[in-house]
Every structure is written in C-alpha cells, then in structure tokens.
Amino acid sequence: MRLELTEYQGEYQRRGVTEIEEEVEEKNRQAGRSLFLVRIATATNTTLFLDSPQSWRKRFDLRQLEKIVVSDAKQLLRLPATDGDEEVLEVASSPLPDGMLLQVGKSTKERENLLERFRETFVGVMLPVLILSVAGGTLLTLQALRPLRGLIHTLDTIITTGALTTRASVPDTRDELAELTRLFNAMLERINLLISGMQSTLDNVAHDLRTPMTRLRGMAEIALQTETPETVLREALATCIEESDRILAMLNTLMDISEAEHGAMRLERELLNAQELITQAVEIYRDVAEDKVIQLSTSVPPELFFPADRNRMLQVMTNLLDNAIKYTPSGGQVTITVTQNPHQVVLTVTDTGVGIPSEDLPHIWDRLYRGDKSRSQRGLGLGLSLVKAIVQAHNGSVTVHGMSGNGAVFTLALPLLPLPRA
Ligand code: ADP
C-alpha cells in the first residue's frame, strides 16, 4: 500500500490528477480488476477521484472517508465492513504538495486470503517436507554415528570388564570413522601387546626370583638350626651371598635394560679404540675359552675409533662372548671381527655352536627369555635384552643370523659419528 502511495505521489507531481487516473485505469486493465482503493481529495476532503473494487463499494461506507480528517500522514485509517464482518478496509494517506490528499487502501480480506493460502501450503507441503527432513536427518545421523556407538560400546566393555582383546567392528565404508575405528583397534592391539609383554616379564621375574629366594631361605634355616657345625654354617652363609648376588645381578640388569630403553641411561661417550675394547673383552674370557677348548680369534683393524661408552660397550661384547662360548661345544671356534663402512663400525661375534632354532629367533631379545635347549646352561635370559638396549641407546642396531646346529652370528652396527644431542 505504501509503495502504491509513493508511486502515485510521483505520478501526481508530474502531471496531476489525470496522470493518476490514467495510471489506475492502466493497472486495472492489466489486472482485469481494481486491486486497490485510490482516492484523491481536495484540501477540504471532498473526493475528486475515487477508484476501488466494485465489491468494496457495497461492503464499506466509502463516504466515511470524506468525514475523517487525516492529521498524521503515517496514520492508517480503518473502515469496518458495513455488514459487521471482521473484514476491514485499511487506508494509507499522504498529503500532496498542493494541499490535496492522496489515499490508497486495501481490504484485509485479501491479506487474510493470502495468509490462509500460505497456511494451507505450509500445512500441505512444507510441514510434510519438514517432518521428512527431520526424520531423514535423524536417520542419517543415527546411521553415521553407528560406528561411534560401536566404539563407545567397545570402550565401555573394556572399562567395565578389562577385556583388552575386545575389538570394535570396522564399518565397510572408506570414511574417517572407518579409519578411526581401524586405528582404535590397532591401538588396542598395541596396548594389549605391551601389557601382555609387561605381564610376562613380571611373571618371569617372579618365577626367576623364586628359586634363589627359596634357596636363600633354606640356607638361612639350616644356619639357624642349633648345633650346626661351623663349616656347614660358613657354607650356608657363602651360598646365601651367592644367591643374593644372583638376585642383585638380575635386578641391576633389569634396571639397566629399563634405563637404556627409556633413554635414561647415562652414556659417557668417548672415542673408543676398537682393538683395545676387543682385547679387553677377550682377556676376560680367555681362560674360560681355554678350559672349554674353544679357539678364540679376533680380526680388528688397529686404528679404528668410534664414539661409545667404554663400560657399556664392554658389557655388550662380554655378553655376546659369554653366550658364544656358552653355546659352543668343546673344539668349536668363536671369532670377533670389526670392520668399518663410511658411516658405521660393524662388530660381529661368530661361533660354531648349537645355533638358534628359528622358533627362538623372534624371542631371544625379550627379557628373561631362554631358549629351551639353553636351560642346561647357567644364565638369566637378560644378556641379549641388555645388549639390544645398550646398542639402541648408542643409536646402533644389532641383528642375529643363525640356524639350529650351524652356529650363530651376532652383528652390531654403531654410528661412527655421535648423533647431535636433541
Ligand atoms: P641367557 O642367559 O639364556 O644366555 P640371553 O639373553 O643372553 O640369555 O640369550 C637368550 C637366549 O638366546 C639364550 O637362552 C639362547 O637360547 C639364545 N642364544 C643367545 N646367544 C646364543 C648363541 N651364541 N648361540 C645359541 N643360542 C644363543
């Protein structure tokens, strides 16, 4: 209505009442009927021009418009229907520059009809569309969240039952949720492996401590018995010390391995002469090898230096040498060679002993693991774990080749230059 009013105001300013009359006529012709009430009145509110739909002339007392004085341009006049119906004719007014009055009106019935049509469209079309969208959206969300619910359920089960072997089912899709579920399962797998590794280490430690502890207790009991001869007493005390040493050695080695694995081992790196190191290690085992009639030979270049902790490297070499001699029968050979490539020093300990069965190969580096055939030999099953941990703490690597009955070859590779500290 306001738009029409502004439009007619412009028309009037151009060519006066005639222009408005023509414009109204043209609009009515185009629409096939009158759409608005258009009225022009003099300054004394006498109608000069009036056009309105035919039906409104009967339903509203349009003469009333001559009686209502328009004081405010923003004021909206409301003419009620003469038959008492709820329909109202709303009229907006605008004073024209020459004192005349321009009015445009519209019946509320049309607005009501429009609203009614809108209501019908909304209820008939929009509402079902809305309900369908909400239902579809909910369904899709539920579908999309199913893997998440699976994850939550799996987590819940693990938390309540502690069953780390539970796995979430991976959806057949190639989206992020499928990837997340796969990674979640992989993480569970890893945690499970770590925990079972820790558990078996703990079991093995407990098992391996039990024997020396029982012997220790037995010896102490014997010593406590009255009238124990002094010689027996001394023997019991000596065994007690021996067993305590064994327990201490085991605990110290376990702590060394743990420290080295966690990067907490303090390494006093210096430039080591390979020949000096090997000679020192061989000296320790020369008598043992001789007693067992094992030929011990070395091949080391004289001027080969590499950065490492002297005591830790001696520990590594003596452990490997100890094993080589231990698992090689009389008449066999143990050879240590040292070579160098552009980046590494490579140390090998080769023996002609019993070799390592392929089923033992993946486990020999585990803490407290002992091959079945090695049970007759002394040992804690910690030597190779310590070797590996120390070598890795030096940023090196250790590998083994060996088949049952064909001897074993342990190869260490250590960097020639120390890595810069992080
Ligand atoms: P252990 O105290 O039993 O020697 P290690 O950790 O040093 O413990 O070695 C783990 C296992 O690896 C041994 O029990 C043995 O079965 C195997 N092994 C290690 N070195 C050799 C070798 N030179 N020849 C054959 N088997 C070996």
DSSP string, 204-261: HHHHHHHHHHHHHHHHHHHHHSTT--HHHHHHHHHHHHHHHHHHHHHHHHHHHHHHHH
Q: How confident is the model at residue 289 (pLDDT cuts 50, 70, 90)?
A: very high
Instruction: Give the CATH number, domain containing residue 201.
Output: 1.10.287.130
pLDDT of residue 419: 52
- Regarding whether 247 and 275 lie in a shared domain, the answer is no
Cα–Cα distance measured from residue 321 to residue 313, given in angstroms and rounded to the nearest whole number? 12
pTM above 0.75, yes or no: no
Contact call for residues 271 and 307 (beta carbons, < 8 A): yes
Residue 421 confidence (pLDDT) above 70 = no
Structure-block tokens of residue 327: 């698992």
Best mutation site among 374, 399, 401, 403 for ligand 1, i.e. most ligand atoms within 8 A of its Cβ? 374
Residue 206 lies in a domain: yes
Q: CA nearest 171: which of 150, 154, 155, 190?
A: 150
- Regarding whether 290 and 324 lie in a shared domain, the answer is yes
Instruction: Give the CATH number, domain containing residue 287.
Output: 3.30.565.10
- The mean pLDDT of 123-152, rounded to a whole number, is 90
String of b and e for 206-222 (b: at least 16 CB within 10 Å)?
A: eebeeebeeebeebeee
Pocket of ligand 1 (CB under 6 A): 323-324, 327, 351, 353-356, 360, 364, 369-371, 374, 379-385, 408
pLDDT of residue 378: 78
Residue 409 lies in a domain: yes
Residue 329 confidence (pLDDT) above 90 = yes
- Regarding whether 305 and 201 lie in a shared domain, the answer is no
- Regarding whether 288 and 370 lie in a shared domain, the answer is yes
H or E segment at 335?
strand 333-340
For residue 149, report the distance from its CA to the centre of ligand 1, in Å: 48
Neighbouring CB atoms inside 10 A of 33's CB total 10
> Which residue is listed with tokens 């959806």?
171
- Regarding whether 286 and 386 lie in a shared domain, the answer is yes
- Regarding whether 278 and 241 lie in a shared domain, the answer is no
Residue 88 lies in a domain: yes
Kindly calculate the radius of gyration of the chain based on its CA atoms and give it in whole angstroms. Answer: 51
For residue 41, report the distance from its CA to the centre of ligand 1, in Å: 118
Q: Of residues 193 and 332, which shows the higher confidence score?
A: 332
Among candidate residues 74, 107, 140, the one where a domain is terminated: 107
How many Å from the N-terminal Cα to the C-terminal Cα in the chain?
79
- The mean pLDDT of 185-214, rounded to a whole number, is 85
Q: What percent of the chain has pLDDT over 70?
A: 98
Q: How many domains does the chain fold into?
A: 3
Residue 170 lies in a domain: no
Residue 124 lies in a domain: no
Among candidate residues 79, 107, 135, the one where a domain is terminated: 107
Residue 239 confidence (pLDDT) above 80 = yes
| Mean per-residue pLDDT over the chain, rounded | 89
Among candidate residues 82, 107, 132, the one where a domain is terminated: 107
pLDDT of residue 420: 54
Cα–Cα distance measured from residue 389 to residue 392, given in angstroms and rounded to the nearest whole number? 5
pLDDT of residue 422: 46
Best mutation site among 292, 364, 373, 406 for ligand 1, i.e. most ligand atoms within 8 A of its Cβ? 364
For residue 69, report the distance from its CA to the centre of ligand 1, in Å: 116
For residue 400, report the distance from its CA to the centre of ligand 1, in Å: 11
Q: How confident is the model at residue 157 (pLDDT cuts 50, 70, 90)?
A: very high
Residue 374: DSSP 8-state = G
pLDDT of residue 84: 80
- Regarding whether 274 and 251 lie in a shared domain, the answer is no
- The mean pLDDT of 66-82, rounded to a whole number, is 84
pLDDT of residue 278: 97
Residue 109 confidence (pLDDT) above 90 = no
Residue 235 lies in a domain: yes
Q: What percent of the chain has pLDDT over 90?
A: 43
- The mean pLDDT of 220-239, rounded to a whole number, is 83
- Regarding whether 372 and 299 lie in a shared domain, the answer is yes
Q: CA nearest 359: which of 377, 376, 371?
A: 371
Q: CA nearest 41: which of 20, 14, 15?
A: 20
Residue 232 lies in a domain: yes
Q: How confident is the model at residue 406 (pLDDT cuts 50, 70, 90)?
A: confident
- The mean pLDDT of 329-340, rounded to a whole number, is 96
pLDDT of residue 162: 86
Which of 48-52, 188-192, 200-204, 252-256 is predicted with the least confidence, judged by mean pLDDT? 200-204
Name residue 78's amino acid.
R
Instruction: Give the CATH number, domain containing residue 95.
Output: 3.30.450
- The mean pLDDT of 201-224, rounded to a whole number, is 84
pLDDT of residue 219: 85
Cα–Cα distance measured from residue 156 to residue 119, given in angstroms and rounded to the nearest whole number? 49
Q: Residue 230's domain spans which residues?
A: 193-260
- Regarding whether 396 and 314 lie in a shared domain, the answer is yes
- Regarding whether 396 and 342 lie in a shared domain, the answer is yes
Residue 248 lies in a domain: yes
Q: Which of 211-225, 231-245, 342-356 has the highest mean pLDDT?
A: 342-356
pLDDT of residue 287: 95
H or E segment at 308?
strand 305-309
Sheet holding 88-95, edge to edge: 47-51, 37-41, 101-107, 88-95, 76-80
- Regarding whether 407 and 275 lie in a shared domain, the answer is yes
Residue 386 confidence (pLDDT) above 50 = yes
pLDDT of residue 397: 96
- Regarding whether 330 and 238 lie in a shared domain, the answer is no
Residue 317 confidence (pLDDT) above 80 = yes
CA dihedral angle for residue 149, residue 155, residue 158, residue 160, rounded to 10 degrees? -80
